[in-house]
Chains A and B, each alone.
Chain A
Amino acid sequence: MTVLCLVELDGTAAADVSLRALTFARALVGGGAGRLAAVVFGPDESVPVAEVSAYGVADAYAVESPQLTGYAPEAWARALAGLADELSATAVVAAATDHGSEVMAHLGAITGLPVAANCASAATAGPGTFRLVRHRWAGSLLEDSVLEAPRALLTVAVDAVAPTASDAFVATSVHAWRSALGEADLRVVAVESAERSGGASLATARVVVGGGRGVGGPDGFVALEELAGLLGGVVGVSRVVTSEGWRPHKQQVGQTGTRISPELYLACGISGAIQHMAGCLSAKHIVAVNTDPDAPIISHADYAVIGDLKEVIPALVAAIRARDDS
């Protein structure tokens, strides 16, 4: 069988999420006579050959078209549909990113096939039958499910699979794939703004100082900002903070905000709702500062300080400053 995996690019390299998707797809291919194929949108030379080879890709397809001036979800899906037919692919896999999820949804709509979103694992269980584990509630709940479809369309929950290179060496052949696109496929094409979002990114920050309802209002964030500055980090907030309008939504950590994976997440006055924890479970270390020793966050954290953040955080700032001065 052939499993076809969409590989997104991050600059000239394969995006980390796509390496995870390739790892997932390789497990689905299994050890038999199967074949892992990858598809990249761009010219032949944009295929990150060394990386996809290390992940076990036998054939990589580069989709290039003069009509594709930018990301175009329907056109990408149309090209994927044609390529999957050509390869008689058993499954098409993409990382559950905004692009991957969107393209796979279009592919499902074009083909009339179901799309199983946010998979953590997949295995074949007879012809046209797949056993899946899917994430619900952004990974706070798992669903065991069965997919019956002539072709499995799967997105991979981004933090469910660790990127793991293949044990066996596989030489990758690169092929150009030309897709016939209609006018309707090109109705929606993204124009990328030249403007990059400035400042330290919440998603990639090494330290995040989190603030929740316990901060009490917009003014309470001054101390958290100061601490974040001292730790070389950024401030993140819970949903209640953005719903109250205390801080902008772009600072929200959680299911409907940003997912973070810092070395340290210092969660201050945050109760630890499912919606919030879904955004920070990839943090290496979680330290909670909370007045309530029975708050849900305590059962997700590695360390806790039981106390009022309005006293603890200024004292911590003072202690770090004193340490820096000595």
Chain B
Amino acid sequence: MEILVCVKRVPMVGGKIVVTADGQDVDTRMSGFTVSPHEECAVEEAVRLVERHGGNVTVLTLGPPAAADQLRDMLALGASRAVLLETDGREWGPIATADAIVAAARARAGQEGAARDPGCPYDLLLFGNEAADTGDYQVGVRVAHALGLPCVTGIKNLEVMVGSDGGPGNGGAAGASARARREYRGAEEIFDIPLPAVISVKEGINLPRYPSLPGRLRAKRAAIEQSAPQWHPEGLRKERLRVPPGETKRAEVLGTGTDAVPALVALLDELGVLS
């Protein structure tokens, strides 16, 4: 089966977020970048699916040239093809991002000729549920609507059922389906949907593997397909980022080591948590 996983490069924020002087970005001079957590799990899930059913995992990101680092990290996990939709570093909104992903998917379908559905060259498109930084929760849903595909989000457990024609696999997705599960308000929701489909997943669906050394070497040498889609403005415009006020306090130190235990017991008693 052919799987596309869309990932986002986000700052590794650690213990503190610092905003740049112009209020437009998170200051990343002292940190680095990583793949947004839900999306790393999406890549792991895709790799497990092709290990079981055959096929290929394409990983795609929209970001600056340096986002190639995150694509290589995902190639090292087992993705076989990488696509960079290159930007000049400015932030893209969810509508423009979805448009660029849809255009890339359609261009890929064009390359493959008439053998596959002309609208969608993938059996499955995986996203993270929401990006760690912007948390917009909508790129996958917008891509699904543009491609006319069913969509489920927030998935923590995914099974793919192979179609009666032997697909998914290289023969296409006809007859293939997915059973996707998530928890909502203490109950499990189960979705049965036909493929191709768009599914966004959450961390916890799996535990991503550590990349193997051969995987890392292969990723280092791999070619990354690039194109540069056109940015366009959206109705929602960021003016300024700021750290919420009054967040920093200083804890009252009850003591050091086991000497602090009597004070700690007294505090727990005062808080009413000792029976």
Q: Are A296 and B257 in contact (CB under 8 A)?
A: no
Given known A136-B241, A311-B257, contact A271–B15 (CB-CB < 8 A): yes
Proximity bits, A296-317, B CB within 8 Å = 1, else 0: 1011111111111001100110
Task: Say whether A109 contacts B204, CB under 8 Å.
Answer: no
Q: For window 181-220 of chain B, which residues contact chain A by CB distance below 8 Å? A: 181-194, 202-204, 207
Distance (whole angstroms) from the CB of B148 to the closest CB of chain A: 8
Identify the interface centre among B204, B240, B272: most chain A CB within 10 Å of its CB. Answer: B204
Closest residue on chain B to residue A108 by CB atoms:
B138
Q: Does B248 contact A (CB under 8 A)?
A: yes
**Would you call B265 and A323 a contact (CB within 8 A)?**
yes
The interface size of chain A toward B, counting residues with CB under 8 Å, comes to 99
Pick from B204, B247, B257: contact of A307, CB below 8 A. Answer: B257
- Decide yes or no whether B256 CB sits under 8 A from chain A: yes
Q: Does A106 contact B (CB under 8 A)?
A: yes
Distance in Å: Cβ of B275 to nearest Cβ of chain A: 7
A136-B134, A307-B256 as given contacts; A141 in contact with B274, CB under 8 Å: no
Distance in Å: Cβ of A12 to nearest Cβ of chain B: 14
1/0 contact string of B212-250 vs chain A (CB within 8 Å): 000000000000000000000011111111111001111
Contact with B along A167-199 (1 / 0, CB 8 A): 000000000000000001001111111011100
B17 contacts the other chain (Cβ, under 8 Å)?
yes
Tell me if B256 and A115 are in contact (CB < 8 A): no
Pair A303/B16 contact, Cβ less than 8 Å:
no
A139 beta carbon closer than 8 Å to chain B:
yes
Rounded to whole angstroms, the CA-CA distance of A146 and B192 in the bound complex is 39
Chain B residues closer than 8 Å to A146, beta-carbon distance: 236-237, 239
Q: Within A81-112, which residues are at the interface with B (CB < 8 Å)? A: 96, 98-99, 101-102, 104-106, 108-110
CB of B258 within 8 A of chain A?
yes
User: A243 at interface (Cβ–Cβ under 8 A)?
Assistant: yes
- Flag if A293 contacts B253 (CB, 8 Å): yes
CB of A190 to closest CB in B, whole Å: 4
Q: Are A320 and B204 in contact (CB under 8 A)?
A: no
A121 interface residue, CB < 8 Å from B? Answer: no
Judge whether B66 is part of the interface by a CB distance below 8 angstroms: no
**A160–B93 Cα gap in the complex (Å)?**
23
**Is B172's beta carbon under 8 Å from chain A?**
no
CA A144 to CA B240, docked complex, whole Å: 5
Is residue A163 contacting chain B, with contact meaning CB distance below 8 A?
Answer: no
Chain A contact surface mostly: mixed
Q: Is the CB of A249 within 8 A of B203?
A: yes
Q: Which residues in A have their C-beta under 8 angstroms from that of B16?
A: 274, 296
CB pair A304 B254 closer than 8 Å: yes
Look across to chain B and name the residue whose beta carbon is closest to the beta carbon of A11: B185
Contacts of A37 in B (CB 8 A): none
- Asked if B81 CB lies within 8 Å of chain A CBs, one says no
In the complex, the answer to whether A305 meets B254 with C-beta atoms within 8 Å is yes
Q: Of A136, A142, A193, which one neighbours B189 at CB under 8 angstroms?
A: A193
The reply on A256 being an interface residue by CB < 8 A is yes
Which residue of the partner chain, among A138, A148, A296, A302, contacts B235 with CB atoms under 8 Å?
A148
Shortest distance from the beta carbon of B33 to any chain A beta carbon, whole Å: 14
Assess the A302–B244 pair: CB atoms within 8 A: no
Task: List A contacts of B95 (CB < 8 A).
Answer: 114
The answer on a CB contact under 8 Å between B141 and A118 is no
Given A242-B204, A257-B204, A316-B261, the answer on whether A264 and B271 have CB atoms closer than 8 Å is yes
Task: Give the distance in Å from the alpha carbon of A201 to the alpha carbon of B237 in the complex.
Answer: 38
Residues A105 and B236 in contact, CB atoms below 8 Å apart: no
- What residues of B have a CB within 8 angstroms of the CB of A256 in the complex? 37-38, 132, 202-204
Whether B254 contacts A303 by the Cβ 8 Å rule is yes
Q: Which of B236, B247, B248, B249 has the most CB of A within 10 A?
A: B236
Which of A142, A155, A245, A315 has a CB less than 8 Å from the CB of B137?
A155
Whether B236 lies near A114 (C-beta < 8 A) is: yes
Q: Among the interface residues A109, A142, A146, A286, which one has the most CB atoms of the partner chain B within 10 A?
A: A109
Give the residue of B186, B193, B250, B262 whose beta carbon is less than 8 angstroms from that of A319: B262
A319 and B273 within 8 A (CB): no
Residues in A neighbouring B275, C-beta threshold 8 A: 232, 324
Binary contact track A126-153/B, C-beta < 8 Å → 1, others 0: 0000001001111111111111110000
Whether B244 contacts A142 by the Cβ 8 Å rule is yes
Residues of A within 8 A of B194 (CB): 187
Q: Tell me if A117 and B135 are in contact (CB < 8 A).
A: yes
CA distance A193 to B189 in the complex (A): 6
On whether A188 and B151 interact (CB within 8 A), knowing A108-B142, A303-B252, the answer reads yes
10 contacts between A and B (CB under 8 A): A71-B189, A110-B145, A117-B135, A137-B13, A144-B242, A197-B186, A231-B268, A275-B132, A306-B257, A307-B256
A residues contacting B by CB (< 8 A) are 10, 15, 71, 73-74, 96, 98-99, 101-102, 104-106, 108-110, 113-118, 132, 135-149, 155, 184, 187-193, 195-197, 201, 206-207, 231-233, 239, 242-243, 245, 249-250, 252, 255-257, 263-264, 271-275, 285-288, 293, 295-296, 298-308, 311-312, 315-316, 319-320, 323-324
Closest 5 CB pairs of A and B: A249-B204, A296-B15, A109-B145, A193-B188, A304-B251
Residues on B lying within 8 angstroms of A by beta carbon are: 13-17, 19, 26, 37-38, 93-95, 130, 132-138, 141-142, 144-146, 148, 150-154, 181-194, 202-204, 207, 234-244, 247-258, 260-262, 264-265, 267-268, 271-275
**Beyond the given A271-B15, A285-B271, A312-B264, could you list 8 further A-B residue pairs with CB under 8 A, ordered by the A residue number?**
A102-B137, A148-B235, A274-B14, A274-B16, A286-B251, A311-B258, A312-B261, A324-B275
